Amino acid sequence: MEINKYLRICLKNGIKCYPIKDSKSGLFRIEVNNKGKITTFKKTLKNSKEVNTAVTSTYGFYAKKILEANGTKIDTRNREKK
């Protein structure tokens, strides 16, 4: 699945994922707002590449969880666009 599909599924279901700056270390952490319930992950991220990867992975995790809960079969194969 692609990030656009992950985003669409999550946002339709009230889930938002974003980086926040850790006040102690100055590094970033990922925070998830799941219909008003805020979860901040402990792992710190050093640069934008790590942040982008973590945000994509987090959206992917939640999107797959939503699809599984709805009984939708998930296609995890990587397909190239033609």
Residue-wise pLDDT tens digits, 32-49: 999 999 999 999 999 999
Instruction: Supply the pTM of this predicted model.
Output: 0.82
Helix (H, G, I), strand (E, B) or coil at 48: helix
Integer Cα distance of 63 and 31 in angstroms: 16
CB-based contacts of 67, cutoff 8 Å, min separation 6: 9, 74
Mean pLDDT, contiguous 10-residue spans, the chain (82 residues): 90 97 93 97 95 96 94 60 47
Residue 35: name the closest of 55, 16, 62 by CA: 16
Tokens of 17: 């994922």
Domain boundaries, the chain: 3-69
